[in-house]
Structure 1
Amino acid sequence: MPPNTTRWTFLVTTLAAFMVSLDNLVVTTALPAIRTALDADLEDLEWTVNAYTLTFGVLLLTGASLGERFGRRRILGLGIALFTVASALAALAPNIGTLIAARAVQGVGGAMILPLTLTLLSAAVSPERRGAALGVWGAVSGLGVAFGPLVGGAIVDGWAWQWIFWINVPVGLALAPIALRRLAPDRGAAQRLDLPGLALVTVGLFGVVWGLVRGNAAGWGSLEVVGSLVAGGVVTALFVAWEARTEHPMLPLRLFRSRGFAASNVTALLFSFGMFGSIFLLAQFLQTVQGSGPFEAGLKMLPWTAMPMLVAPLAGPLSDRIGGRPLLVVGLLMQAAGLAWLAANMSADTPYSTQWPAFVVSGIGMALFFVPIANVVLGSVPERDTGVASGANNAIREIGGVFGVAVLAAVFSHTGSYASAQEYSDGTSIATWVGAGVVLAGAVAALFVPGLRKPAADPAPLPVREPEPIAA
């Protein structure tokens, strides 16, 4: 591939991945402002986050399949355009229902973008440089997630909450034409879309999430909640059964025969569950309980969010040398320790000097996870499956975030409330302990990721036999 095309590919894929990842958490420090401006309750705020992550996670596999069938460059450009339009609609939303709907459409656009950025970048670089390139991609994606609270807080304080969506518009307008004109045409093996699988997984996951979100409000024993959870679980099981028998599955279950693929995806699910669920509550804790403004709250979390930027350049090459497993295990242990530290020291009068060391520990742990995970996943499957493997990993990670927000918000609602600083602190503390425990389970799962395989030594050359003299 020509160097100019490679450079354009690197630029477009990393910026697009950053933009999509940013919108995972950019709303967190804006949630109190959105709650006041649009008269929203906790359930509304959950759906403001989950409407994006749910459609994003569910449709990632479909986005990857569309790229394989119709061309990765074309679908990437269309995804960027759709994401840009949805961002403008979110900024113009007059009520919470419209905002949630626009966030769902954003998730559709994001699902067309993120898996294709990874496969396009992977194809554009040589195998010996792939680990470093994917490390940068993972770090940039991680930065998008990590800097979301700071960016959101700065924008809400400086302008208004609507501008957390307006900032995507000029970026999208610039990237879409570049993607369509400058990137090399790239298409995988044509795939038939698995529409029954898509319908089953969408209905199943929506049912489970709806039950979790509505549990405290409607009652955990109510017909609505029990019926939603049971129906969602049954339909999700039907999705697994369908994927096992259909000729063109959106999630090939054969990939999970690879220990590396299975273990790394369980690890990603548990990491996102604990991290996303905890940060949903922690970002509000700094404002609702401790009285910080949106930007101040984001700034206080900077020791957490800035660590990936400092650690990633070292962790990327290191993962090529020692493998991803040690970094994943250490990173998740540090993330769990940071969350436990915060949970144990959570009250209205907790000084910031007690909080920032926990943010640093969590930030280093986040960086050590984000950098190697993509390379571990892609290295565990044949090259022909990298597209669907990328989509599966990102889908599982996003779905982990959806369940994390839903479950930890349910724990918070059961043990705390917005009624007073003490009640909010108590609920958030218990929920964060749960998040720390889930991330710790992720560290245990990471132990099953295969270690770095050393290349086999070249066989010794065969001895050269001297020709026998010819008899006279």
Structure 2
Amino acid sequence: MTIARASEGTPVPVSFCAEGDRGIILWAAILASSMGFIDSSVTSIALPAMREALGASLQQAQWINASYLLAVSSLVLVGGAAGDRFGIARIFSLGILVFVAGSLACAFAMTPEQMIAARAAKGVGAAMMVPGSMAMISRAYPRAERGRALGLWAAASTLTTALGPVIGGMFVTWGGELGWRLIFALNLPLGLVALWLVRGRTPGDIGKPGVRVDLPGAGLATLGLGLMAWALTDAAAPAWVALAALASLAAFLVWEAVAPAPMLRLGLFRNRTLAVTNVVTFVLYFALNGVMFYLPMTAVTAWNVTALEVTAAFLPISILIGVLSAPAGRMADRYGAGPLMAAGSALVALAYAGLWLAAPMGQFWAHVVPLTALAGLGLGLVVAPLTAAAMQGAEDGEQGAASGVNNAVARVAGLIAVALLGRMAAEAYGPVAPGFGVTGDSAQHLAATGAAFGTVALTSSLMAALAAGLALLVARPVR
């Protein structure tokens, strides 16, 4: 692409952005990524208040979470490809608009069905917005400065991710129904500022007309994952739903094997390190998402804990990941990612086993907070090595695709965990009133809720232990 010619007739290339605009592009990416990163944690904390205000059942509460994860996990790879095709900043900006519109729809939702639809819209926006954040930074900065810029992006995103639940907890605790609605409305000023920062500052963002976008693959993935979530969430779902889910996912894999521009190149998984790393990602994030989704619901509705106090279980995780990721990454470079991933996953398994034992007592400050801090220590050892292993297993030129696949796997794990564990928790709770995740103060309710969350914690502990064992199969770095 050229917009001018030098005097001798040599084309003058157009850079992605002017040198003076790099910092502005970085801040736009930080703001947009922060909106996406804090969404799940804030929604988990606000969910008990949302359920009460909207009159949502446990199954509808699961779909409030699942609809967002379904859209993101099935479309995030397509979002990255669309950025390559039509321009990174264009798709990034469109994603912000869709995400903000979905957030406003969440703020004004009056029924569970409206909230589910609005969350799905937010997921579509996030699938376009999040991949563009890192891609814009990579395009804006020269290679020598890119690492520092991405480090600033990661640090700022970690900080906002840590502060998000605290702010959300304050709004819910002190603002009642208006409080949780304001949580979603806050995305409007953040999104508008991000749009204003990026507008007109990327003259070199022209896209690549020859790049194809795998829309059939996206459709099959969305159909298969959606039917799977339905089958796992609803005990009364017809048998054909599970069969149709498996058939759709099988058709997706067949299509990806022959598609001219697949969203998921199956050849990536011929590398053992990459394949095992993604299995570890799925198993570990299944455990993490299950506990982090149902812990706030349990604490608020049965253990007499406020939404603001629940954030004490989230903060150690964000802080420890932020503090330990850099040294853990250096250790992974030296000793290999596998041992660190195994050690960290084992700590998570130990912490969640403790939550299983502590669940019947309902002692949030004495038991739950220290155990979630232990899980945060384990995750601090895992996150950076896990990313390094995913990159190590990719061929040159496919690191972006490998990163996208790894992120999609983590989100699919969350989708399946919330659906499956919610069904298991409801069965463990039993026929006692008022039901799992509904506020009550009877001894029966406390005991039933302890049994339900204990089932979630035990299953998550076993999954984290499986991740620890599988992580030992990840190859050490070649010297």
Q: Which among 69, 84, 90 is matched to residue 85 of structure 2?
A: 69
How far apart are the structure 2 equivalents of 1:43 and 1:426? 18
Q: Which among 279, 298, 310 is matched to residue 285 of structure 1?
A: 298
Question: Aligned pair count?
Answer: 447
Q: Indicate if the aligned counterparts of 2:362 and 2:450 stay in contact, CA closer than 8 A.
A: no
Q: Indicate if the aligned counterparts of 1:135 and 1:316 stay in contact, CA closer than 8 A.
A: no
Structure 1 segment 190-205 matched on structure 2, within 5 A? 190-205=210-225
How far apart are the structure 1 equivalents of 2:275 and 2:30? 26
Q: Which among 153, 166, 173 is matched to residue 157 of structure 1?
A: 173
Could you list the per-position Cα deviations for residues 357-403 of structure 1 after superposition, in whole angstroms to 9, with x for gaps in the alignment?
21111112223333343443334324433333332221111111000
Q: Indicate if the aligned counterparts of 1:335 and 1:362 stay in contact, CA closer than 8 A.
A: yes
The change in CA–CA distance for 1:430 and 1:103 in structure 2 (over 3 A counts) is same
1:451 corresponds to which residue? 476
Q: Which among 260, 267, 270 is matched to residue 254 of structure 1?
A: 267
Q: Per the alignment, in what secondary structure is the counterpart of residue 114 of structure 1?
A: helix
Shift of 1:311: 2.5
Structure 1 segment 138-177 matched on structure 2, within 5 A? 149-159=165-175, 160-177=179-196
The change in CA–CA distance for 1:22 and 1:211 in structure 2 (over 3 A counts) is same
Q: Which amino acid aligns with 1:73?
A: A
CA RMSD of aligned residues (A): 2.6
Shift of 1:143: 5.8
Q: Which among 307, 314, 336 is matched to residue 349 of structure 2?
A: 336
Q: Which amino acid aligns with 2:215?
A: L
Which piece of structure 1 moves more, 305-314 or 180-189?
180-189
Structure 1 segment 287-302 matched on structure 2, within 5 A? 287-302=300-315
Q: Which amino acid aligns with 1:367?
A: G
2:255 corresponds to which residue? 242
| Residue 114 in structure 1 maps to residue 114 in structure 2 | no
Q: Indicate if the aligned counterparts of 1:51 and 1:101 stay in contact, CA closer than 8 A.
A: yes
1:209 corresponds to which residue? 229
Shift of 1:345: 1.1
Which piece of structure 1 moves more, 435-444 or 25-34?
435-444
Q: Indicate if the aligned counterparts of 2:29 and 2:194 stay in contact, CA closer than 8 A.
A: no
Which piece of structure 1 moves more, 62-71 or 305-314?
305-314
How far apart are the structure 2 equivalents of 1:136 and 1:267? 27
Q: Which amino acid aligns with 2:282?
A: L
Q: Indicate if the aligned counterparts of 1:69 and 1:189 stay in contact, CA closer than 8 A.
A: yes
The change in CA–CA distance for 1:188 and 1:323 in structure 2 (over 3 A counts) is farther
The change in CA–CA distance for 1:264 and 1:17 in structure 2 (over 3 A counts) is farther
Shift of 1:140: 5.5
Q: Which among 112, 135, 155 is matched to residue 96 of structure 1?
A: 112
How far apart are the structure 1 equivalents of 2:165 and 2:298? 13
Which piece of structure 1 moves more, 381-390 or 36-45?
381-390
Q: Which among 401, 407, 412 is matched to residue 414 of structure 2?
A: 401
How far apart are the structure 1 equivalents of 2:50 and 2:357? 29
2:451 corresponds to which residue? 426
Shift of 1:26: 1.1
1:466 corresponds to which residue? none
1:464 corresponds to which residue? none
How far apart are the structure 1 equivalents of 2:140 and 2:270? 28
Q: Which amino acid aligns with 2:450?
A: S
Structure 1 segment 114-133 matched on structure 2, within 5 A? 114-124=130-140
The alignment's TM-score, normalised by the length of structure 1, stands at: 0.87
The change in CA–CA distance for 1:104 and 1:265 in structure 2 (over 3 A counts) is same
The change in CA–CA distance for 1:287 and 1:449 in structure 2 (over 3 A counts) is same
The alignment's TM-score, normalised by the length of structure 2, stands at: 0.86
How far apart are the structure 2 equivalents of 1:34 and 1:17? 24
How far apart are the structure 2 equivalents of 1:286 and 1:406? 19
How far apart are the structure 1 equivalents of 2:198 and 2:333? 29
Shift of 1:68: 1.3
How far apart are the structure 2 equivalents of 1:366 and 1:64? 27
Q: Which among 327, 344, 359 is matched to residue 340 of structure 2?
A: 327
Runs of 5+ unmatched residues, structure 1 = 219-223, 455-472
Shift of 1:5: 4.5
Shift of 1:324: 3.6
2:35 corresponds to which residue? 19
Shift of 1:250: 1.4
The change in CA–CA distance for 1:447 and 1:17 in structure 2 (over 3 A counts) is farther
How far apart are the structure 2 equivalents of 1:141 and 1:188? 29
Q: Per the alignment, in what secondary structure is the counterpart of residue 415 of structure 1?
A: helix
How far apart are the structure 1 equivalents of 2:460 and 2:424? 10
The change in CA–CA distance for 1:332 and 1:190 in structure 2 (over 3 A counts) is farther
Q: Which amino acid aligns with 2:466?
A: A
Taking only the aligned residue pairs, the percentage that are identical comes to 31
The change in CA–CA distance for 1:319 and 1:267 in structure 2 (over 3 A counts) is same
How far apart are the structure 2 equivalents of 1:277 and 1:198? 25
1:48 corresponds to which residue? 64
Q: Which amino acid aligns with 1:434?
A: T
Which piece of structure 1 moves more, 42-51 or 159-168?
159-168
How far apart are the structure 1 equivalents of 2:152 and 2:356? 31
Shift of 1:189: 8.4
Q: Which amino acid aligns with 1:77?
A: S
How far apart are the structure 2 equivalents of 1:126 and 1:261? 28
Runs of 5+ unmatched residues, structure 2 = 1-14, 430-434, 437-443
How far apart are the structure 2 equivalents of 1:168 and 1:316? 32
Q: Per the alignment, in what secondary structure is the counterpart of residue 180 of structure 2?
A: coil
Shift of 1:444: 2.5
Shift of 1:307: 2.2
How far apart are the structure 2 equivalents of 1:131 and 1:446? 27
How far apart are the structure 1 equivalents of 2:135 and 2:391? 9
The change in CA–CA distance for 1:146 and 1:326 in structure 2 (over 3 A counts) is farther
How far apart are the structure 1 equivalents of 2:290 and 2:218? 25
How far apart are the structure 1 equivalents of 2:323 and 2:356? 25
